[in-house]
Structure 1
Amino acid sequence: MHQKTEAAMKYNEMSHFSHPHKLKFEYSEFPFKCDGCKEVGIGSRYKCSICDYDLHLHCAIPSPSIFHPFYTKCSFQFLNRPPGDSPRYCNACEKDVTGFVYHCKSCGFDLHPCCAKLPMVLDDGDIKLYLYRKVSSACHRCGRKGRSWSYRSNCKKYNLHVACVREMLVESWHEIYVGRGKGRKLETRIPSLKNTLQTTHNKKSRGKVKKCCEMAGIAVQVVISAVLGDPTALIAGVIGSLMSHS
């Protein structure tokens, strides 16, 4: 079992400073919106059964302060709201910071809790992806170089910006909840791989093309599950199942 899930199982029920009711640990195969960082999540979470309040594991059990290998001179402090009045964005995924955040006072950098805890290596048995602050190769999603943090495969064929993964999720879940009140419905559509990856297959056999697409698909699934705050979601087959129905 993943170390993070093991830790969560030790706290099957907990109190949290951000909410008046007890929160219980559960594993959901449906996407949810974290009420701490305001970002999408899936898989492991802490949930209030009374008023539908949800938290990522990283938001429910935050570290008071963290250091990140990408910013060796920075010390990030956990805050329950962005500092100051100016709009802020996450240095990992480039998306707005509107809730819980890790903030470095000396340099002004900000990281979403899930971005701050992104694994440096993702490995599902078929493919390994390594987290980089910047890579020189083009992203399979947008075709651009540089930009935000990226996951690149060990074979260096697949590269995905963390920012692009966020955009894929926003495109599909621009409104996470549809409807109003208690009858609201959770939107569960995961971005389809069709027309998503900018790859070329000139002079390649159909078999190699199929294998390339399959491996690229695995890369997307691995990164999406990590960005959503629970890499174990991929192992459980959740992401792949939802993607196949999109």
Structure 2
Amino acid sequence: METTKRGCPSHAEGMQRKPAGAPYKCSGCQEMGFGSSYQCGNMDCNYILHENCANGVSHAVHKFLPDSKLEFYEKPAGHPRYCDGCGKDVVGFVYHCIRTSHDLHPCCLNLNERISDEEGGVTLELCEKVPSKCVKCKRISVEKGIQGWSYVSSEGKYCYHVSCVKKLILEKWEKGYFSQQTNPAMAESSRVAERTNGLEIVQSGTVSRRSRKMKKFTKIAVLVFKLIVSAIFGNPIIAIAGLVEALFSG
């Protein structure tokens, strides 16, 4: 499969790869990212691309869209258009099939089909059709007429629309929720949240059986949410583990 390298349209310095860190908005697809990225070599330029947008293939296929031959475009073919994966609007880089009119964000095209924790105790699969309502929005479909893809646990207990997770993280980012590097109070609150809501919850001998059961449920639910956020945004677990736990509980 042919791979193309895309650079800044305004400068010729070349793109420099940056490790995962603070969240950013991709200048190509206009979607949010946490993982590694490529940034314009001109120090005065803020042009930044997801790794998938900078080094994406020119043509692609997806098993959920078997009749579609997807081709990369820098701008959507007409408006309005939405991504068949997450249901969100397409406003920048996109994979589009002329014949079937299907569209996918570059990051949605590259979503992992299966994700699991290191111990293999929790496994989630990317599904086109879901067996239960989304934990976040309590609906089967993202919008009327738009199914949207979801990550679903093996027993079907946990189901999250890709769209709902994207929306939640974006809303928190726009409110400054991930600005802990420049906000000491936020950093401290995230550390407190990590101590109280983290996976290493200390069980007291006086805690009731029901309370222990609820804490176990919360631990699994937080782990599920972390794995999905990691798959969608590019492995931010190490960078924002406490924040993910805090926003889940809030």
Q: TM-score, normalised by structure 2?
A: 0.75
Match of 1:45 in 2: 37
CA displacement at 1:15 relative to structure 2: 6.3
Match of 2:167 in 1: 167
Point out where structure 1 has 5 or more consecutive residues left out of the alignment. 1-13, 177-184, 193-203
CA displacement at 1:42 relative to structure 2: 0.6
1:198-245 Cα shifts (integer Å, max 9, x gaps) = xxxxxx8222211111111111111112222x1x333xx123133256
CA displacement at 1:33 relative to structure 2: 0.7
Q: State whether residues 225 and 239 of structure 1, in contact with CA within 8 Å, keep that contact through their aligned partners in structure 2.
A: no
Paired letter, 1:99:
G
Match of 2:61 in 1: 67
Match of 1:148 in 2: 148
Match of 2:88 in 1: 95
Aligned residues: 209
Match of 1:33 in 2: 25
1:39-78 Cα shifts (integer Å, max 9, x gaps) = 1001211112421221101000011111101011111001
Match of 1:217 in 2: 222
The percentage of aligned residue pairs carrying the same residue is 35
* 3-state SS of 2:23 partner: strand
* 3-state SS of 1:118 partner: coil
Matched, 1:239 2:240: yes
- 2:158 and 2:94 map into 1 onto residues whose CA distance is 29
- 1:245 and 1:53 map into 2 onto residues whose CA distance is 30
Q: State whether residues 127 and 219 of structure 1, in contact with CA within 8 Å, keep that contact through their aligned partners in structure 2.
A: yes
Between structures 1 and 2, the one with greater strand share: 1
1:127-167 Cα shifts (integer Å, max 9, x gaps) = 21100011121111111124310000123221101111122
Point out where structure 2 has 5 or more consecutive residues left out of the alignment. 142-146, 177-181, 188-192, 194-208
Q: State whether residues 221 and 239 of structure 1, in contact with CA within 8 Å, keep that contact through their aligned partners in structure 2.
A: no
Paired letter, 1:159:
C
- 1:156 and 1:19 map into 2 onto residues whose CA distance is 47
- 2:49 and 2:6 map into 1 onto residues whose CA distance is 12
Q: State whether residues 25 and 46 of structure 1, in contact with CA within 8 Å, keep that contact through their aligned partners in structure 2.
A: yes
Larger Rg: 2
CA displacement at 1:175 relative to structure 2: 6.7
Flag the 1:135–1:245 CA change in 2: closer, same or farther, 3 A: closer
Aligned Cα root-mean-square deviation (Å): 2.8
Flag the 1:76–1:15 CA change in 2: closer, same or farther, 3 A: closer
